[in-house]
């Protein structure tokens, strides 16, 4: 059997999936056709029900639960890891009302949380969808008044002459008392629970291999990383690959269900199915 597997070129994903992608970890009688894409392209692919297994933003997962279940491994979740709103130093949050603000795609968790904050604060910026690595240049050039940065942007925004206006992840954590669920792995429901459990086990084995043999995945990670500085790559992996990437755990389940509920309310959808997780 061949299964399509899609994830991002970000270091946390390439670190987790390298052993599986390179055949160092195998599933009996299963082969993977692998695609690497920007997070919002992955969200769009899953919305179109194209891949069998896909890394998506948790916010995007909310609207595809009729077709997919969430796996308990391979995702990104934690505290102090959320998106950051950046701007030039003198900018205030209220200054963004009616102004263009760059977001890394309307289906992303970052965009959802920014929208929740704006509604709470009574402001209505104009979202501008950009690929995540184009956001800081758009703010630096003045094309956008601010930008919601994710991934490597958390560590490099000061190099672009930008300041942190607000830590959106910290706002969510303080408001909800829960970690922030950023991304998750979804798998087509029609493939069944037994195969979902097998794939989950394989993802865990792939991550374990990366931890035991970090030199094996180093070249694969560098080939796909937007930021090539070794220190930034290492910081990215340390930040976004946590014990929750092995198993989401009870707090992670609660946080994910809370964010899924917010996303479904924002889209006018009903209650999610009971079996969100495989």
Cα–Cα distance measured from residue 222 to residue 11, given in angstroms and rounded to the nearest whole number: 8
In the chain, domain spans = 2-78+180-266, 84-176
Q: What is the pLDDT of residues 95-130, one digit of tens each?
A: 999 999 999 999 999 999 999 999 999 999 999 999
88 is catalytic: no
Determine the 3-state secondary structure of 29 from DSSP: coil
Token pair 């968790």 in the structure block, residue: 109
- Which one of the listed residues 18, 151, 209, 236 is annotated catalytic? 151
263: CB partners within 8 A, 6+ apart = 58, 59, 60, 61, 62, 63, 112
How high is the pLDDT of residue 230? 86
The reply to whether 2-78+180-266 and 84-176 are identical in fold is yes
| CATH T-level assignment (fold) for domain 2-78+180-266 | D-Maltodextrin-Binding Protein; domain 2 (3.40.190)
CA atoms within 13 Å, Cβ hemisphere of 236: 26
Contact between 5 and 185 under an 8 Å Cβ cutoff? The reply is no
Backbone φ and ψ of 145, nearest 5°: -75, -25
Determine the 3-state secondary structure of 112 from DSSP: helix
Of the pLDDT bands very low, low, confident and very high (cuts 50, 70, 90), residue 196 is very high
The architecture in CATH of the region 84-176 reads 3-Layer(aba) Sandwich (3.40)
**CA angle at 257 for the pair 122 and 233, rounded to the nearest 5°:** 85
Question: What is the rounded average pLDDT for all residues in the chain?
Answer: 93
Percent of the chain with pLDDT over 90: 82
Of the pLDDT bands very low, low, confident and very high (cuts 50, 70, 90), residue 227 is low
């Amino acid at each position: 059997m061949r299964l399509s597997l899609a994830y991002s070129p970000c270091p946390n994903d390439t670190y987790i999936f390298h052993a599986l992608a390179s055949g160092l970890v195998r599933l009996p009688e299963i082969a993977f056709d692998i695609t690497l894409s920007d997070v919002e392209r992955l969200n769009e692919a899953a919305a179109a029900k194209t891949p069998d297994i896909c890394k998506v933003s948790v916010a995007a997962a909310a609207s595809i639960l009729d077709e997919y279940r969430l796996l308990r491994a391979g995702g990104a979740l934690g505290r102090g890891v959320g998106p950051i709103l950046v701007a030039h130093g003198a900018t205030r949050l209220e200054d963004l009302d009616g102004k263009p603000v760059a977001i890394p795609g309307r289906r992303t968790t970052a965009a959802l949380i920014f929208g929740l904050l704006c509604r709470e604060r009574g402001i209505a910026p104009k979202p501008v969808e950009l690929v995540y690595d184009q956001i800081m240049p758009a703010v630096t050039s003045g094309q956008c008044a601010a930008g919601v940065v994710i991934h490597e942007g958390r560590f490099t925004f000061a190099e672009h002459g930008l300041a942190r206006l607000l830590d959106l992840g910290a706002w969510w954590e303080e408001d909800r008392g829960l970690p922030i669920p950023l991304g998750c792995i979804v798998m087509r429901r029609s493939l069944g629970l037994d195969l979902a459990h097998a794939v989950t086990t394989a993802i865990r084995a792939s991550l374990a291999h990366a931890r035991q043999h970090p030199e094996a995945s180093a070249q694969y990670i560098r080939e796909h990383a937007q930021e090539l500085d070794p220190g930034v790559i290492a910081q990215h992996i340390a930040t976004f690959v946590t014990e929750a990437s092995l198993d989401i755990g009870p707090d992670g389940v609660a946080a994910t269900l809370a964010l899924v509920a917010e996303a479904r309310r924002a889209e006018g959808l009903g209650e999610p199915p009971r079996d969100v997780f495989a």
